[in-house]
Amino acid sequence: MTTDEKKEYLKSTIRTVPNWPKDGIMFRDITTLLKDAWWFKYMMELLFVRYKSMKLDYIVGIESRWFIMWSALAQMLGIWFIPIRKKWKLPAEVIAEEYDLEYGKDKIEIHRDALKPGDKVLLVDDLLATGWTMLAACNLVKKLEWEILECCFVVDLPDLWWKKKLEAAWYAVFTLVEFEGE
């Protein structure tokens, strides 16, 4: 199987759940990918190969579904994982960033002392859909004077244009698979 064929198969392991969490949404659920040990290992190896030569200090992951996956990648790379959480989930002093949602506002937080200025980070999330949370995470990281080397996602929904919006804001973006026009 070629690399492109493997990536297509990797994409096929991601379940689509129609009309969840509301009508008209085609939810891309990567839990079906995670339960297949071979394809999960393949995905992690793709990510490892991509990031092993980058001079990363930390992986910073956004609230919380895939913390285990991103922690595993950090361990493979020999670096630490730092969580960004929704408000009131972290126990020590935090710095916060509020952001817009389709239906209101939300807030994410990170421990103020998690990193030091100049640290190089990979920002990660499972899915790039609306992008508001990742943009808020980028703003949070910039406040703390960390350097974002890349924003990484397993899945991109390119019809929503958020990859282009993040790139227009001068962030490098990498995604493993795309669900275009679906």
Read off the pTM.
0.93
pLDDT in tens, 87-97: 999 999 999 99
pLDDT in tens, 32-73: 998 999 999 999 999 999 999 999 999 999 988 789 899 999
Is 8 contained in some domain?
Answer: no
Is 171 contained in some domain?
Answer: yes
Whole-number pLDDT of residue 21: 87
pLDDT in tens, 125-177: 999 988 899 999 999 999 999 999 999 999 999 998 899 999 999 999 999 99
Q: Which residues are 108's β-sheet partners?
A: 86, 97
Whole-number pLDDT of residue 102: 72
Question: Which residues have a catalytic role annotated?
Answer: 65, 102
Confidence of residue 1 (pLDDT cuts 50, 70, 90): confident
**Does residue 126 or residue 181 have the better pLDDT?**
126
- Output phi, psi for 68, to 5 deg: -65, -45
Is 23 contained in some domain?
Answer: no
Whole-number pLDDT of residue 182: 61
- Domain containing residue 59: 51-175
β-pairing verdict for 104-111 and 94-101:
antiparallel
Whole-number pLDDT of residue 66: 85
Is 128 contained in some domain?
Answer: yes
Is 96 contained in some domain?
Answer: yes
Report the C-alpha gap between 153 and 177 in whole angstroms: 9
Indicate the number of domains in the chain.
1
Report the C-alpha gap between 1 and 31 in whole angstroms: 23
Residues 16, 27: contact at Cβ < 8 Å?
yes
Is 34 contained in some domain?
Answer: no
Is 109 contained in some domain?
Answer: yes
CA-closest candidate to residue 83, choices 102, 105, 61, 68: 61
CATH number of domain containing 58? 3.40.50.2020
